[in-house]
């Protein structure tokens, strides 16, 4: 039986961890290095670090902060934000990341996924998708630049394309649910999970342990990511895992 993973996420801006609602109204959530150490000790399965303004500001990810965070971790570590070329991936992996997350750059240049996968292996390449429901599309639309720009891609179609090109994992964020704490977007996660052959990480909307259970059982996700409920100590990784175990979910 495949083990379900619980993944805290550090959204980093100007060297600090921040959290907002639907990508807006960011507030401070602490120091990334201290939080990384805390989550490692608490039993998180992995950690995701996203430099959320790098693509929008047209700059590279903060390598020095990545190095400091990596120094605290014994768990797999994914880094994204401002990774636009193979050289950027090399720099981030050398700094201590285990995987790189591509979002805006992958949409603008899908060949980047292929390059990364052929050089480092698919297991290193996570394609992050920011999804927002679009009435005119009757489905979810892919957004880039930290959720600021709509694209022509429909989410399921883009997820399939990313996997065909070599993505080893999909990090799927529901912009509609992000920070709302009303639960993960089950329909979105189910649609993508059933369409691709690689693990899907559900992101956006976690408010309690029951939401993680729904993401796994109904949404068919392989992992679930959360930020504010862990950062602000509303619940803990340990408590979520204990609850999932009590419900028969296989967790580490």
Q: Which of 8-22, 108-122, 174-188 has the lowest mean pLDDT?
A: 8-22
Among 8-12, 32-36, 128-132, which range has the highest average pLDDT? Answer: 128-132
pLDDT reported for residue 13: 85
Q: Which of 61-65, 131-135, 142-146, 233-237 has the lowest mean pLDDT?
A: 61-65
Pairing of strands 99-102, 125-134: parallel
Residue 83 to residues 37, 60, 183, 194, 222, Cα–Cα distance (Å) = 24, 7, 29, 28, 25
Give the closest residue to 159 by CA, choosing from 169, 149, 150, 151: 169
Read off the pTM: 0.93
pLDDT reported for residue 184: 98
Region 8-15 average pLDDT: 88
- Report, as residue numbers or ranges, the catalytic residues: 11, 130
Report residue 68's pLDDT band, with 50, 70 and 90 as the boundaries: very high
Please name the residue ranges forming H helices in the chain.
32-42, 54-57, 63-70, 86-94, 104-108, 111-120, 155-164, 186-195, 209-217, 228-231, 237-246
pLDDT reported for residue 64: 86
pLDDT reported for residue 1: 67
Pairwise CA distance, residues 164 & 15, whole Å: 34
Report residue 180's pLDDT band, with 50, 70 and 90 as the boundaries: confident
Distance of CA 108 to the CA centre of its chain: 19
pLDDT reported for residue 23: 56
Residue 202 to residues 98, 123, 151, 187, Cα–Cα distance (Å) = 19, 18, 21, 11
Give the closest residue to 168 by CA, choosing from 108, 101, 214: 101
Instruction: Report the run of H or E that residue 131 belongs to, with start and end.
Output: strand 125-134
pLDDT reported for residue 61: 61
pLDDT at 91 over 70: yes
pLDDT at 59 over 60: no
- Token pair recorded at residue 181: 């704490």
pLDDT reported for residue 82: 85
pLDDT reported for residue 63: 87
pLDDT reported for residue 146: 83
Domains of the chain: 5-246 (3.20.20.70)
Q: Which of 26-30, 137-141, 194-198 has the lowest mean pLDDT?
A: 26-30
Region 4-14 average pLDDT: 93
Instruction: Report the run of H or E that residue 140 belongs to, with start and end.
Output: strand 139-144
Q: Which of 13-22, 76-85, 134-143, 237-246 has the lowest mean pLDDT?
A: 13-22
């Amino acid at each position: 039986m495949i083990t379900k993973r619980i993944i805290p996420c550090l959204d980093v801006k100007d060297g600090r961890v921040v959290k907002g609602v639907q990508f807006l109204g960011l507030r401070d959530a602490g120091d990334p290095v201290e939080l990384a150490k805390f989550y490692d000790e608490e039993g998180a399965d992995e950690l995701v670090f996203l430099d959320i303004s790098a693509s929008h500001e047209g700059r590279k990810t903060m390598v020095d902060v990545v190095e400091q965070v990596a120094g605290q971790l014994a768990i797999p570590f994914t880094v994204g934000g401002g990774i636009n070329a193979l050289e950027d991936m090399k720099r981030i992996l050398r700094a201590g990341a285990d995987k790189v997350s591509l979002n805006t750059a992958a949409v603008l240049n899908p060949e980047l996924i292929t390059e990364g996968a052929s050089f480092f292996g698919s297991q290193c390449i996570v394609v992050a998708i920011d999804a927002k429901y679009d009435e005119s599309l009757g489905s979810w639309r892919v957004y880039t630049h930290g959720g600021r720009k709509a694209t022509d891609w429909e989410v399921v179609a883009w997820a399939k394309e990313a996997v065909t090109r070599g993505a080893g994992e999909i990090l799927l964020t529901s912009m509609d649910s992000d920070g709302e704490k009303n639960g993960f977007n089950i329909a979105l996660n189910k649609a993508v999970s059933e369409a691709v052959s690689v693990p899907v990480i559900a992101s956006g909307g976690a408010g309690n342990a029951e939401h993680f259970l729904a993401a796994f059982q109904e949404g068919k996700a392989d992992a679930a990511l959360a930020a504010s409920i862990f950062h602000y100590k509303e619940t803990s990784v340990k408590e979520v895992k204990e609850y999932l175990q009590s419900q028969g979910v296989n967790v580490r």
